[in-house]
């Protein structure tokens, strides 16, 4: 039986496990070949790579983890692909180890912290993009009310910055601050992360309130999270304009919405 301290950290582990994988992986698996997206990603890391990297962040330092990613980049892997196809499934694997009592929750939490360190370490390189626009659009990113801090949202922010968007917010922004920001600053889009432990009952009214007080009265709202991967129709039922299953698709959807 898990201790009270372990139970306290259960929402954090579930959020990281639930958000990263659905949003960052599932949408592209079925449709990517037809759309030609696989070519954009280049070579995909194998399951052996995923398990090796997961073991690395469990047992070694953040420096070693960053060195592993750097070596794969030197081998020709795209950094974007490594974000979506290596870091994300490795984080899921870590969550599964904890859920199955195969790994101590402290070790898993520290390992996930090392994954976040890798994202921060490569952020300057990842954000460099020759295709970034000069007509900067603005997006407000935030967790839904009651949502835990999200590594998935952290990764989504990287993709938007890389694409030339001006990003405000991110993981950990209080819901009351989101309302204030939307009312006082112009945003083309608001992106909301609703993870596995987030209650959806009040989300529709919260989104409606954001719209009613937004400085941009035609602001677009996009929802992301595991709820919307398996049931994308939930997004429109909750009053959003779109949903996306991974960080790259989130940028594409936001571009479409902003172009309106």
Distance between CA atoms of residues 108 and 97, nearest Å: 8
CB–CB of 245/23 below 8 Å?
Answer: yes
- What is the per-residue pLDDT for 129? 61
- What is the per-residue pLDDT for 89? 87
- Lookup: tokens for 76: 């020709």
Q: Apex CA 257: angle with CA 259 and CA 161, to 5°?
A: 90
What predicted TM-score, i.e. pTM, was given to this entire model?
Answer: 0.73
CB–CB of 195/226 below 8 Å?
Answer: yes
- What is the per-residue pLDDT for 55? 94
Residues 6 or more apart from 185 whose CB is under 8 A from it?
138, 140, 168, 215
Name residue, tokens 């950290």: 9
CB–CB of 156/224 below 8 Å?
Answer: yes
- What is the per-residue pLDDT for 48? 95
Eight-class DSSP state of 78:
-
Distance between CA atoms of residues 76 and 127, nearest Å: 18
SS3 content of the chain, % helix, strand, coil (to 5): 60, 10, 30
Find the DSSP H helices in 42-137.
Answer: 47-59, 62-74, 79-82, 88-99, 105-126
Name residue, tokens 């779109």: 242
- What is the per-residue pLDDT for 32? 36
- CA torsion, ordered 96, 102, 108, 112, to nearest 10 deg: -40
- What is the per-residue pLDDT for 7? 52
Distance between CA atoms of residues 78 and 194, nearest Å: 28
Query: Consecutive 10-residue runs of the chain (260 residues): their mean pLDDT?
Result: 50 47 39 40 88 95 94 93 89 86 88 90 82 75 80 87 92 86 95 76 90 94 85 91 90 90
CB–CB of 19/115 below 8 Å?
Answer: no
């Amino acid at each position: 039986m898990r201790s009270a301290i372990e139970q306290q950290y259960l929402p954090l582990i579930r959020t990281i496990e639930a958000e990263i994988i659905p949003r960052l992986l599932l949408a592209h698996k079925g449709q990517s070949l037809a759309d030609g997206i696989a070519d954009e990603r280049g070579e995909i890391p194998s399951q052996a790579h995923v398990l090796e990297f997961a073991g690395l962040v469990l047992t070694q330092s953040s420096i070693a983890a960053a060195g592993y990613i750097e070596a794969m980049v030197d081998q020709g892997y795209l950094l974007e692909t490594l974000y979506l196809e290596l870091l994300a499934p490795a984080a899921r694997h870590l969550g599964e180890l904890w859920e199955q009592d195969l790994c101590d929750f402290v070790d898993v939490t520290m390992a996930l912290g090392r994954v976040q360190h890798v994202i921060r370490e490569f952020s300057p390189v990842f954000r460099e993009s020759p295709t970034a626009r000069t007509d900067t659009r603005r997006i407000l990113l935030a967790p839904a009310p009651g949502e835990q801090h999200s590594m998935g949202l952290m990764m989504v922010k990287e993709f938007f910055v890389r694409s030339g968007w001006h990003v405000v917010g991110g993981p950990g922004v209080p819901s009351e601050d989101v309302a204030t920001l939307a009312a006082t600053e112009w945003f083309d889009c608001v992106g909301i992360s609703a993870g596995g432990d987030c209650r959806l009952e009040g989300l529709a009214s919260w989104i409606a309130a954001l719209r009613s007080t937004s400085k941009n009265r035609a602001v677009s709202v996009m929802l992301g999270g595991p709820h919307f991967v398996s049931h994308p129709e939930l997004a429109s039922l909750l009053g959003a304009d779109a949903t996306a299953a991974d960080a790259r698709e989130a940028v594409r959807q936001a571009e479409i919405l902003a172009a309106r």
